[in-house]
Every structure is written in structure tokens, then in C-alpha cells.
Chains A and B, each alone.
Chain A
């Protein structure tokens, strides 16, 4: 993720003040997010459901 993209995303998320006061922290956060998100394997089956499921009135 490049600097311009980070700034656009940060502003659209409401982080303009953080961007002005803590620009390095915003960059670290953006890089953390990109790093972990790309490590999640996409389920091969397009029908794979998420957890927690939408189950009215029940739990685990």
C-alpha cells in the first residue's frame, strides 16, 4: 500500500486528525492491516459460510 493510498483511506475512515498528528502510526496501522489480510487463505468452496452464523435464538 503506497503513501497516497494510505492517506486517502485514512481520510475516508475519519483519521484526518491522526494523519496530521501521528502520520507514522497511521502508516504502521495500514501496513499491519495489509500484512495480515493477505495471509488468510480463501476457501476453495464458494459456498463456505462464515462464523458466527446467523442462527436466530441459538449460540454455540
Chain B
């Protein structure tokens, strides 16, 4: 499927408008939140039967919120920087009055009584919630065809998977169903769909965004992150959802803020560490991915960056530490349900979640001790460079119904290291494969230095025009 190189600001193409452009137009009374929301709901009605990005569209509530936003905007009262801009919410995140199903029969009627903190912050900034988005079951089991709802599909080619577990978020943002979405990331679940769908997905520093009101998968690895079509929008969304939450035990004490401050700053003198062994030795990447990563590296050099090679622990060991911690912690959550009603889970999540039953306390503690050493090794690397550049996915997305290929390609990624260490990591488009599917790159920064990650990501976006590439759908 060919890329549509359409612009972002044309009022006739409301579905490709960026968050920033829409918010500015609404504030200037040049765009009605009602018109924008209606246009997106119409597009959802047309495309979602193919993409399955939504579990539940909350159209009536969205239109009511849009009318209220319009009235407020007309009288010059703006709630915040996202006033009147629609957003989609991954369905493991609570939205008051809607069920949080986690895409599972187990929680089909699990009504949320309050907004998650991240949703509350988005609404406080004026965003309009369009509905709940598809996920892999409990953010771990998918893509699956044995759940109450079908899996989301990739708008670049609906025969291919959109990545996961925040699959509806990635699919919907890329397809122009909404300009921003919330995802969650425990082993790469914001960055995988961002990579497969060619959008921008950030896993922030551990503890930067509150997890309160988000169904847990793994307490020490879970992160909530923004998913958008542009780097600037991602920074804007992070600015809204970041901040200390005294009722989230993992919440960081402070955040830096001003995430978009360095977006247009030159890269001159910035030290970028290229982790080549991830995709050249540990998990050899598809040649198109390797070529794209080299192209990104050369482009950053041309922008003035000082490129160096960096060595970290192997992907295999990062992955093992991630899995032992994740599955042990997840078992502590799902054990009772897996004992009583194993048939209510899809097969993939049943297999993955039961693995924790076979981990010992010794396995968990050993992985946790090795984890601190890995954190120290990444910290040491980030004392020598300002940002890391590495692969995200080693392959373009495969066909969704090819279970063998899905099982082969899913673990071929370099995202889990930064769940293990908690560093901020952003995945975005590095180009398009010959088959017309996105390939990806990842940038990683120091704790709470998302601003520098955005600076480098924006330099690549500006050089390559990735923000102008959309799937030719609809």
C-alpha cells in the first residue's frame, strides 16, 4: 500500500491534523471541536470494521464533550493545551462509566467508576475521549482470535498485524481515527505498535506517568505512554500526563517538564551512541531494517551529532530478565483467576500468564539482582553519550493470521532492555519497506531527559519527513 504524503494542516483533511494544529485552530476559533469529533467518528464508522481498533466507541459522550468544548472555546475559556482534541484510550486504562475489559472475557463487565489519573489529566487539558481501544488480552496475549473481540489490524495493510499490545492505539493513530492515544508498555507495548504502524510512541522514564487506574501486568515494568503521529504532539501529550502521584507507589518524585523545549535545537555536539550489536549480532535484523538504521545514523551525523558505538548486555539476557520479572509479577495478579476459570483466557495469555506459576522466588530474586547490574551498565553508557540509537523491531510487521511468523518475529525486538532499566525510549518510523510497511528506529535517553530524546527524534523526523507519511487508507 502506497504512502499518502498529504499535509497535516489542511482543514479538508481533518483526520490527518496534528494535535498541536487542531488545538491551535480550536483556540483561534478557526475549527469547531464538534466538526473535528464528527469527522473522526465518521471515519471510525467507515474504517473500523476493517481495522478493529476499537472495543467500544463512545460516540454520544464524545459529541456531548465536543459541544461543551465548543461552547467554552467560543467564550474564550480553554481548559488546557488539548482543548477539543479527541483521544483514544487503551482498554486496560479506566475511563469512568465504561468497562475496562482488558480485551478479555475475564473482565467483560468490569465497569470503571473513575478515570485513571492519566485520563483525568487528559480531560483536564481539554481532550475528548472517543472510546476504548483494542489491546492484546491483559496486554500480553495476542494477536488472538479466541477472544470476545477481534484483534486490531495494521492500516498500512490490514492483512498484517499492527504490533501490540497497544494495538488499537497504534492502528487508530496511524489510520487517522484520532490524533493521539494512550498506550501501556511492559515489554515494549507502546513502541511495538508505533514501530509496526509508523507513528511515534514513547515509553517514558519509569514512574514519570501515574499508573493509578491502569490494570497492572507487572508492577516494576509497567509504563503508560503517549502515541501520536508527530514528535511534537508526543511531547505535548507527555507534558499533560506526566507528574507525581502520591497514590502510585512507583511514581517518581519529580518530573523535568518542558518536554518540547529542545525540539528545534541543533544536534551539533550531541553524542549519540549506536547500539549496533542489538541488530547485527544479538538478533540479526531484516536487511531493510539494518539499512534504515544506518540511514538514520548518517542523517543524525549530517545534523551535527557525534556518533559512537556503544555496547550493552545482550538482548537475550535483557529479554530473560524482563520475562522472569514480568511473568512472576503477573502470576501474583492472575493466579486466582487462572486457578478458577482458565477457560476464560485466550490461549496465548493463558500460556504466558501461567508461566509465572513455574518461576521460583530464587528465579525472581536472581533476575532482580541482575537487573540492577544492567541498570548500572546502561547508566555507564549514558554517561559517555547523551542518547542511544538502536533498533526497535527487527522486521516489518508480518501477516496477522500467520501464527508461525507472528511467533517468530514477535520476540525479535530491542525494546525490553529499557523496561528492565526504566530509561525513556521512543520508537518511530525509520522508513518504509519494499512491501510498503513501516520499519522503525528507537532513541533512548537518560532518566527524566525525555526532552533530549524528543530533540533527536524531531531531527530525524524533520530530515526524513516521517510525519508526512500516512497509510493510503480511506
Give residues in A with beta carbon < 8 Å to B.
1, 6, 9-10, 13-18, 21-22, 25-26, 28-30, 32-34, 36-37, 39-43, 48-53, 58-60
Contact = CB atoms under 8 A, between A and B. Distances in A.
Contacts of A53: 372
Nearest to B341: A17
A33 B324 CA distance: 7
Contacts of B205: 60
A58 B173 CA distance: 36
A32 B321 CA distance: 13
Contacts, number: 129
A50 B362 CA distance: 12
B143 interface: no
B163 interface: no
Contacts of A6: 358
B248 to A, nearest CB: 10
A53 B358 CA distance: 24
Contact of B320 (A28, A30, A37, A43): A37
Contact of A22 (B320, B324, B342, B359): B342
Contacts of B339: 13-18
A29 B368 contact: no
B447 interface: yes
9 contacts: A1-B358, A18-B354, A25-B347, A32-B352, A34-B358, A48-B372, A48-B373, A51-B371, A59-B250
Contacts of B352: 29, 32
Given A15-B339, A28-B351, A36-B355, 11 more contacts: A1-B358, A14-B338, A18-B339, A32-B323, A33-B363, A37-B320, A37-B367, A40-B370, A43-B373, A52-B220, A58-B253
Interface in B198-223: 205-207, 220
Contact of B324 (A16, A25, A40, A60): A40
Interface of B: 205-207, 220, 250-253, 316-317, 319-321, 323-324, 327, 335-336, 338-340, 342-343, 347, 350-360, 363, 365-373, 375, 422, 447
B357 A9 contact: yes
4 nearest A-B residue pairs (beta carbon): A50-B368, A39-B320, A33-B358, A29-B354
B250 A51 contact: no
A19 B207 CA distance: 38
Contacts of A33: 327, 355-359, 363
A49 B250 CA distance: 19
Contacts of B323: 32, 36
A50 B365 contact: yes
A51 B447 contact: no
B363 A40 contact: yes
B342 A29 contact: no
Contact of A40 (B220, B338, B354, B366): B366
A11 to B, nearest CB: 10
B261 to A, nearest CB: 21
Contacts of B321: 40
Nearest to A29: B354
